[in-house]
Chains A and B, each alone.
Chain A
Amino acid sequence: GAVVSQHPSRVICKSGTSVKIECRSLDFQATTMFWYRQFPKQSLMLMATSNEGSKATYEQGVEKDKFLINHASLTLSTLTVTSAHPEDSSFYICSARDWSGGAGKETQYFGPGTRLLVL
């Protein structure tokens, strides 16, 4: 299957600093990428949909000025957590939609996740 990478896999930062997480589709082009947040023993919570070359669409309750998303190329989307606070500590997972199977046959592949700890 297709491969999606994330970097870094783990990051620890001080409160008030900003952290950038990269998501790359390695063997396919992704016009659409997604960012999720996952709390312990819970399912994935969609934060935003990232479309290449346009502004991201945020889910209700997600602060767009705090979670900046940029999708500047067909293989890269970034999530920047600005002025991070301890409550932003979480597991962040990106995914990318692969259209190579044809119309109506798209598949969504996930990255390995990034563990963020804000002290």
Chain B
Amino acid sequence: EDQVTQSPEALRLQEGESSSLNCSYTVSGLRGLFWYRQDPGKGPEFLFTLYSAGEEKEKERLKATLTKKESFLHITAPKPEDSATYLCAVQAGGANSKLTFGKGITLSVRP
């Protein structure tokens, strides 16, 4: 059974204090690993998809990396508007296989 574990459960940062969010996964045949951002009362917003170990993607203050066992979402010099819940999900198997989500990491950035 596919499993996704995110840590820490919650993270509080000072504005400008860089950090990383971890997503550990166990799947048979990774098809893709997804990062989403979710604000309260809204649907998840797509951030990145990573397909193979060693791949990295960046967007503004965010950088996602992938190994065979885990993915990191690095946040550089965060701002209060980066406060949200960050969800990691994996897709394994065939093209129409479902996503398996972690429980999410709630990030709070204080001004």
Query: Would you call B44 and A110 a contact (CB within 8 A)?
Result: yes
Q: How many residues of A contact B (CB 8 A)?
A: 27
Contacts of A108 in B (CB 8 A): 34, 46, 91, 99
Query: Would you call A111 and B51 a contact (CB within 8 A)?
Result: no
Contacts of A46 in B (CB 8 A): 98-99
Which range contains the number of B residues in contact with the other chain?
A: 20 to 34
Query: Would you call A111 and B34 a contact (CB within 8 A)?
Result: no
Question: Which single member of A34, A44, A109 contacts B46 (CB below 8 Å)?
Answer: A109
B105 → A minimal CB distance (Å): 11
A49→B51 CA distance, assembly (Å): 22
Contacts of B31 in A (CB 8 A): 104
Contacts of B44 in A (CB 8 A): 44, 93, 95, 110
Instruction: Confirm or deny: A1 has a beta carbon within 8 angstroms of a beta carbon on chain B.
Output: yes
Contacts of A49 in B (CB 8 A): 96, 98
Contacts of B34 in A (CB 8 A): 107-108
Give the interface SS of chain A, mostly helix, strand, loop or mixed: strand
Query: Would you call B103 and A42 a contact (CB within 8 A)?
Result: yes
Instruction: Confirm or deny: A85 has a beta carbon within 8 angstroms of a beta carbon on chain B.
Output: no
With a 10 A CB-CB cut-off, give which of A32, A43, A113 has the most chain B CB atoms.
A43
A109→B36 CA distance, assembly (Å): 9
Instruction: Confirm or deny: A112 has a beta carbon within 8 angstroms of a beta carbon on chain B.
Output: yes
Contacts of A107 in B (CB 8 A): 34, 46, 49
Given the interface pairs A93-B44, A113-B43, the reply to whether A43 lies near B95 with Cβ below 8 Å is: no
Given the interface pairs A42-B103, A43-B104, the reply to whether A103 lies near B95 with Cβ below 8 Å is: yes
A112→B44 CA distance, assembly (Å): 7
Given the interface pairs A42-B103, A113-B41, the reply to whether A106 lies near B46 with Cβ below 8 Å is: no
A residues lining the B interface (CB < 8 Å): 1, 4, 6, 32, 34, 42-44, 46, 49, 51, 91, 93, 95, 97, 103-113, 115
